[in-house]
Amino acid sequence: MQSDNPTAAILLIGDEFLSGRTRDLNAHHLAGVLNAIGIDLREIRVVADDHRAIVDALRALDRHLGGAWDMVFSSGGIGPTHDDITADAVADAYGAPLELNPEARRVMEEHWGARGVEITASRLRMARIPRGATLIRNAVSAAPGFSIGGLHVMAGVPSVFRSMVETIVPQLATGRPVQSVSIEVLRPESEVADDLRAVAEAHPALSLGSYPFRDERGYGTNVVVRGLDAAEVGRARAALMERFGA
């Protein structure tokens, strides 16, 4: 699909994804949000809780570091435990000192104090922010994420992640939302391939995909047309419907 929208990548950080212990919810949620506001998600990458792996991934993804995409959203690794090393890796990647941020500390101490929670060194780890970064508000548990360059660093806990996404969306450079239509065809994918190819060649600015299924009716294919121009999406859909005899 041809697009002039801003581009993005998501970096999921955590051994739990690579071991199969945890199923990701955050990238799925964010992908839908970005699609709706006209930011083209181009890549989702998963790395272990390893300092060098995180630094290398950030440098490959973030255009501010010589990478490929306009903005990067990370999830995970900013909690209070020893294996929460994302802030350290980000500071290394950007060449920024990691400091105890006074505003982050104030917000967390107010939140904890109101609930009678002890302020410990482990909890204060979550107030360590690279110098020059701006905080991402967290309405769920107070401990903030942060933005630096083209990177938005957010928590791995899904409820906290969603709160942070709500905070940063109004600040993002957006484009044209993707228009999408779906056609259900009760034919195997192999029988619609030629028609799909012909329509795709006639509409190079669009993305046409086929997704096979099987249910009580037999084999079928869901054909999805995506693009930025609603009128052209509609024309491609009409051409497909004509070819499919629907």
**2 occurs within a structural domain:** no
Q: Report the distance separating Cα 140 and Cα 120, nearest Å.
A: 19
Question: Domain total for the chain?
Answer: 2
- Give the angle 76-82-88 at the CA atoms, nearest 5°: 60
Note the pLDDT of residue 189: 96
Last residue of a domain, one of 140, 171, 202: 171
Residues of the domain holding 187 = 179-244
State the average pLDDT over residues 196-205.
97
CA-atom Rg of the chain in angstroms: 22
- β-strand 134-136 against 128-130: which pairing, if any? unpaired
Check whether 73 has a pLDDT greater than 70: yes
Residue 112 is predicted with a pLDDT of: 87
Taking 90 as the threshold, does the pLDDT of residue 100 lie above it?
Answer: yes
CA distance 205 to 20: 37
pTM for this entry:
0.92
Residue, of 28 and 1, whose pLDDT is higher: 28
- Does a structural domain hold residue 1? no
Q: Please write the tens of the pLDDT for every residue from 60-71.
A: 999 999 999 999
Are 209 and 100 found together in one domain?
A: no
Same-domain status, 98 and 166: yes
Percent of the chain with pLDDT over 90: 92
The mean pLDDT value for 128-157 works out to 96
Q: Pick the residue with more confidence: 114 or 205?
A: 205
Q: What average pLDDT score do residues 12-23 get? A: 95
Q: Say whether both 185 and 167 belong to one domain.
A: no
| Domain end residue (candidates: 119, 153, 171) | 171
Question: Chain-wide mean pLDDT for the chain?
Answer: 96
Over residues 202-215, mean pLDDT: 96
> 220 and 133 in one domain?
no
Angle between helices 51-61 and 86-94 (to 10 degrees): 50
Does residue 107 register a pLDDT over 80?
Answer: yes
- 225 — phi, psi (to 5°)? -115, 130
Residue 240 located in a structural domain: yes
pLDDT band for position 187 (50/70/90)? Answer: very high
3-state secondary structure of 71: strand
**CATH at residue 83:** 3.40.980.10
Same domain, 184 and 234: yes
